[in-house]
Structure formats: structure tokens, C-alpha cells
Amino acid sequence: MGGIQLTNLDVVLIIAYVIAIYGFGLYFARHTKSTTDYFFSGRKFAWWIIAFSMIASIVGSYSFIKYSAAGFTYGLSSSMSYLNDWFFMPLWMFGWLPIMYYARIVSVPEYFERRFDRKTRLMALIFISLYLVGYIGINFYTLGVALNTLLGLDTFVAAALVSVGTAIYVFSGGQTAVIMTDLLQGVVLLAAGLAIFILGFDYLGGGSLLAGIENFWNGLPQSHRFMLADFNQPSKFHFVGVFWQDAIAGSIAVYFFNQGILMRFLALKSVHEGRKAIVASLVVLFPLAVLAVGNAGWLGAAMHNLGMIPEAYANPNPKDVFVVVTKILVQPGLFGLVMAALLAALMSSTDTLINATSAVVVNDILKPFAWPGRSDEEYLKLARWISVVAAGVGLSLVPLYMSFKSIYLAHATFVATITPPMAVCVIMGFVWKRMTANAAFWTLLGGGFAVGFSIFVPDVITPFAHGVSDEGGFKYMRALYGLVVSGVIGVVVTLITSPKKSDEEIKGLTLSSLKQAEQDFKGAVPVNKKVGRVVKLQVQVVPPQPDNGLSLHPDDLAVMSADVGDMIYVADGRWYLGGLRAAHAVVTSSDGEQGVVKIPSNIVHENNLLPEKGVRVEKLL
Amino acid sequence: MHTWSYIYLYLVGGLFYAIGSYLCIRAEMIDLKASQDRRMFYATTASLILFAVVHGYFQLVLPYGTGAP
């Protein structure tokens, strides 16, 4: 399949897009003054920024190719992976997110040390590091393959160009640059994907959208019209396997121990904002994303069935269907937007992984082991350079993936191997206070070994297979086997060993002690759960105060349902900045003028507040 | 078997959802006396039910009809 000839307009659009993204990322670099800023953006963003940027991070460059191929082959059921993340949400929203947020934990390995012990942390660190670096390489590799297929560019050169650019803005701006660029990239990739869908209807309807929708539906083979695949066949793609591998193990992996996604949610202004972000993603953004990345395959299937694929592209290979449909539908000029969307999908996934790798190296290797006791400035400088090294290591894997497909497969196998034991360990660890450090360690090691063993002896999965044929080596059903075996190890070892840590030492790290963590996060004053309103106030800058607190008028506090001692959130008066200029603070007095908040100058400067723009203030706890 | 896929998804998945909700309510991390927690939990659950209904329409009704969605 030859590449597509770019017009001048396409080239201009792509170059303009790349410059805009890099400029956008570099612009926000000035907001990064500490490692907390670099990794967590100062914990201040609004839910809608995080929701959009998370979608961009989850949609990878391979998504358009992979889901179009699945959509062409299996129909609407290719959407299953994007629409089945609901079932662990109560535990995540009301359990795991508050634990990580209130205990100020910055990584899953750190959680494992505080909850269990150091050797469990090291085991998790090894798993997560290999997972992250391998995935950076895979993202570069898949983008290179996509650009090679679409444009005929050399795979490595394409990957190198994008990796250098991505590394530059992550180096400079850290998490703030990642979030703000991903917000823009999320919009672009959704817009481009949905534009292809609309153009497809237009093509199928001969210029009429409504007729196009009718023809699209009638053109889809009946077997392609189901949102969920057949229960247990074919062995390559069936419902029950995708359920256990993706809806259960995969969802736990993404939301509970994917370091990049975790950091994204820790950048929010509050736990409540995190809950809003995830519900908005599940209800609106994921369905939009699945339409964006999968529609080319569905359109291709309908066109193929209706005989509307031009002779030159007849009987396309599923892996080429995205290119074929794009060639048929997209006019010169608009193609630049599609390429921008592919770049957006790549950069937004990779920048997240690079920043996450840097966080793991600094917080889990340098600070506790290799280089402890240094200043935050030194760690920040290192964090920036580690981002560059992570991008370089990821890029260096591209030739390996190109030469040895087995390495690519080995990484996929490795991820499948570590996911079930990690999932069991995380969930059991925070839900079951009794779980011991030995149980956690042996769940990781024994569960990983058991899953690895099943790759060589797939017959052990048969009892869990739900009637799925073993033709594909139980690729999907391995997850259920791994979850059960890891769960049994976790329970048995817990019951025969004793916890090393007292209840006091793990306070705030398990579900049953979480209420105390919320209180500890706030400080001495009891948590205020009354619901108030956001107030818009003018700012009076005052000299730094010994208590570093804010002063508001009693009437303004009453509107916010806040009291002296409560934790509040102060953000730039322009809501559309989404918390870019914002701070957490404590109300220490109520002697201000009505409509005015007194803010110490150090808080104004450290958080980039602009007093002349006013502030929006709300009570958090 | 397509119907069974739908039932399995929301039966087994719903079981995980219900157990997770119960554990959080028991630990008072979903505080049903606090309006913010209560609204968020009910909104999430209602969204899941709405999602399941729409999903059901696309899975159990639409594929067997002749008209477009």
C-alpha cells in the first residue's frame, strides 16, 4: 500500500500544528517551579481539563489503525474496550483516588512501601519501570509505522522527529505542559476522527447525511451491528475474554496503577473534581473517542458490502482499512488534519509516559535509594533530564521493535503477565486491612510466575475458559486465570502470615481508615462537608503572614458555607483557565472587606495569581 | 449468544460495582448523609444505568431491525 501524496496545504497544516503544540507546551513551562509542579502541576486543575487531556493520553497513535482494523473485521463490537470501564468506579472514585490524594502518595511503588514493605516496593518498581519504558518505545514505533504506511516516511526517522519534539516540551514544562498540550490534542484527535465519520456518511449518502446514515446501517453486515461480540467465539475476539482482560484487569491497570493516569488525577484541585472528571469521561468522552478511532473500520465494512470501495482499493487488508477509507474520503487539505490527529494521539500518549517515567525514577529510585536528601531544585533539574533520557531510551527501542517483532510481542506478553497480580495486589491491599507484606510480595511474584507458566502450558487456563477454544492460546482468558490464581495466593499467604505494620502505620492507606486520612489532609480542624457556592472576589495583596492564611468577610464565607480553618481553593477569575493560576489555602481570619479576599504576596507569586483579574474562591474541606 | 454477552456484562460487572459501592458505603467513604457524596454516587449509578439501557438498545433491539439508528 503506497503512501498518500501530501499537498502544500496538508504540509502547512501539519507544520503549523506541530509548532503550535510545541509553542503551547513551552509557554506553560514558566509555571513549573518545583517537582510538585513538574509531576503534579501543583494539584490545581479543574475536572474538564483533566478529562479531555486523559482521553488524549489513553488514545494512542496505534488506536486509529488497530480499532479501524477491528471495526472492519468485527463491526461495532470493536468499541467494547472503550465502553466497559464502569465496574470498579465506586472503589476508584471513593477509595483509591482519595487514598492517593489525601496520603500525598506520588506513585504506586511508594504506596506499596508505605502499605507493605520495601521489597514489595522494589518488585512493583521493576514491573512498572519496564512497562513504562517499553510503552514509550511502542508508541514511537507505532507512530513510525503509521507514518510509514500513510506517507511512506522512514519509520525510525518519523519516530525520532516526534520524540525530539515531545521530549523538549516535557523537559521544559512537565505535567503542566503535558496537561495543556493534551487538552488541545484531545480536541484535535476527536475532531479529526469525527470529521471522517461525517465525511463517510456524506460519501455513502451521495451528498446527503441522513441517507448516508441509512445506507451505512443497511450496508453493515448483520454480524457487525452488535455493540458486544459473540460470547465466546471466535477465539481471536470474543466478549467474555475482552470482559476479563479489558473491563476487569485492564480497567484496574489503567485507573489504579498506570502512573501517567494516576498523576493526571493527582493534578486536580480536589478529589471531588476527580470524580466529576471520570464520570464525564465514561459518559461522554469515551463514547466520542470510540467513534473517532473506530469509525473508519465500520465505514469500510459498509462501503465494502455496498460495493462502494473503488476498484484500486478493493478487498483491503483490515490493517490497511484506515488508510484506504482516509484516501477515499479525505480531500487534500483535510488530510493535514488527520495527520495532525495521528501526531496528537502519539504525542499525548508519549508525553504522559515520559513524565510518568521521570516521576518514578525521581520519587522511587533517586529520593529513597540512590540520591537521597537533596534539594527540590536539584531533583527538579534531574527530573527534566530524566525525561529526555526516557524519550531517548524509548526511541532506542524502535529499531529493536522493527528488527525483532518478538520483542514487541515480548512486551505485550510481559504486560499481560504483570497486570493480574498487580491488580489483585492493589485492590486487596487497600480493601483488606489484614493483607500482609509477605502476601503482597508473593502475590506479585507467584501470580506473575503462574501467568508466565500459562503462556507455555495454556491448558492450565482451560477451567477458566468459559468454553473459549484454545486455538489462540487463550490470549484473553489468561486474565481471569491470573486474577484467580493471584487472588488465591494473596488470601492464603495472608492467612498464614502476620502483618508487619500496626494499624497506626497504615492509617489512611486502607479503605477502613480513609476517613482519618481526609481529616489528616486538612489538618486540625474537622472536615466541613457543607455544600457552598463559588464566589468571585477582588484581591487585596497583603505582606506574608505568619500563618500563611487568607482573610475573607463573614458574608462571603457564609455563601461558600466555609468557616475559619477550612481549606479553600483560590483560582484566577477567568474560569476558562481551568485552574492554571490557582492555589490551595486556609482561611485564617474573617475580618476582610465584603467582596475582597486578602491574600499574602508569597501565595500570589508562587501560584502565578494575577490580582487585577480577581479570583474565584470555593471551599474544599 | 449476543444476548448472553449483554447479560454477563451487566450481571458480573454489576456485581463488582455493587460490592465496591457496599465497601465504600460501609467505610463511610460514600457518606450518604453528605449531599455532595450522595449526589455524586447517585449520579454515577444513574449514569451507569442509563448507559446500560442505551447499550441494551444497541445490542438487543437495533441489530434485529431494518431501520437505521
Q: What is the pLDDT of residues A216-249, one digit of tens each?
A: 999 999 899 999 999 998 888 899 999 999 899 9
Check which CATH number belongs to the domain holding A562 and give it: 2.40.40.20
Same domain, A477 and A613: no
Determine which helix (DSSP H) or strand (DSSP E) holds A344, and give its type and residue range. Answer: helix A334-360
CB neighbourhood size of A382 (10 A): 18
Angle of helix A259-266 relative to helix A271-280, nearest 10 degrees, comes to 120
Asked whether residue A469 falls in the same domain as residue A581, the answer is no
Q: Is the residue at B26 inside a domain?
A: yes
Is some CB atom of chain B closer than 8 A to the CB atom of A512?
Answer: yes
**Quick check: is A199 in a domain?**
yes
CA angle A391, A397, A400 (to 5 degrees): 165
- Judge whether residue A524 has pLDDT over 70: no
Size of interface A-B (CB pairs under 8 A): 127
Per-residue confidence (pLDDT) for residue A4, from 0 to 100: 61
Q: At A401, list the grid cell.
A: 521493535
The per-residue pLDDT of chain A, averaged, comes to 88
Are the beta carbons of A155 and A397 closer than 8 angstroms?
A: no
Q: Which position has the grid cell 472492519?
A: A72
pTM of the model: 0.90
> CATH number of the domain that A178 lies in?
1.20.1730.10
Task: Give pLDDT, residue A3.
Answer: 56
Q: What integer pLDDT is reported at residue A317 of this predicted model?
A: 85
Quick check: A328 pLDDT over 60?
A: yes
**How many separate domains does chain B show?**
1
Minimum distance, in Å, between the CA of residue B45 and any CA atom of chain A: 9
Single residue among A482, A517, A549 that ends a domain in this structure: A482
Q: What pLDDT score does A34 carry?
A: 85
φ, ψ (nearest 5 deg) of residue A285: -75, -40
Q: Mark whether A389 and A534 lie in a shared domain.
A: no
Write down the pLDDT at residue A560.
95
Residue B69 maps to a domain: no
A148 against B54, higher pLDDT = B54
Residue A359, pLDDT above cutoff 80: yes
Q: In 3D, which of A250, A247, A242 has the Cα closest to residue A422?
A: A250
Both A421 and A564 in one domain: the answer is no
Looking at the fold, whether A390 and A539 belong to one and the same domain comes out as no
Strands A535-542 and A596-600: parallel
Is residue B52 included in any domain, yes or no?
yes
B48 located within any domain:
yes
Q: Are residues A343 and A458 in the same domain?
A: yes
B48–A511 C-beta distance less than 8 A: no
The answer to whether the CB of A137 falls within 8 A of the CB of A397 is yes
Please compute the mean of the pLDDT values over residues A148-170 and round it to a whole number: 81
Residues A442 and A535 in one domain: no
B residues 22-61 near A, CB within 8 Å? 23-24, 27-31, 34-37, 40-41, 43-44, 47-48, 50-51, 55, 58-59
pLDDT in tens, A566-607: 999 999 999 999 998 999 999 999 987 899 999 999 999 988
Domain coverage including residue A13: 8-482
Q: pLDDT value at position A506?
A: 92
Domains in chain A, number: 2
Which whole-number Å values give the CA distances from A144 to A62, A163, A350, A499, in the listed order? 10, 11, 13, 49
Probe site for chain B from A226, A251, A426, A561 (most B CB atoms < 10 A): A226
Higher pLDDT, A405 or A186: A186
Please indicate, yes or no, whether residues A111 and A226 belong to a single structural domain of this protein: yes
Chain centroid, CA A528 distance in Å:
31
Q: Which domain, by its residues, includes B31?
A: 2-64
* Average pLDDT estimate for A155-182: 84
Evaluate if residue B67 carries a pLDDT over 60. no
Angle formed at CA A193 by CA A316 and CA B59, multiple of 5 degrees? 75
Using 50, 70 and 90 to split pLDDT, how confident is the model at A134? confident
Last residue of one domain, picked from the residues A428, A447, A482: A482
| A15 shares its domain with A93 | yes
Q: What is the ipTM of this complex?
A: 0.94
pLDDT of A480-508, one tens digit each? 999 999 999 999 999 999 998 898 899 88
Residues A51-90: tens digit of each pLDDT: 988 888 888 767 888 889 999 999 999 999 889 999 999 9
Which pLDDT score is estimated for A370?
Answer: 83
pLDDT for residue A464 is more than 80 = yes
pLDDT at site A98: 93
Distance CA B13, CA B20 (A): 11
The residue out of A482, A515, A546 marking a domain boundary is A482
H-helix or E-strand spanning residue A213: helix A209-219
Q: Identify the DSSP state of A576.
A: G
Per the model's pLDDT, the better-predicted residue between A447 and A455 turns out to be A447
Q: Is the pLDDT of residue B6 over 90?
A: yes
DSSP state of A268: B
Asked if B51 lies within 8 A of A279 by C-beta distance, the reply is no
CA distances, A407 to each of A73, A136, A141, A155, A548 (Å): 26, 14, 12, 17, 54
What pLDDT was estimated at residue A539?
A: 95
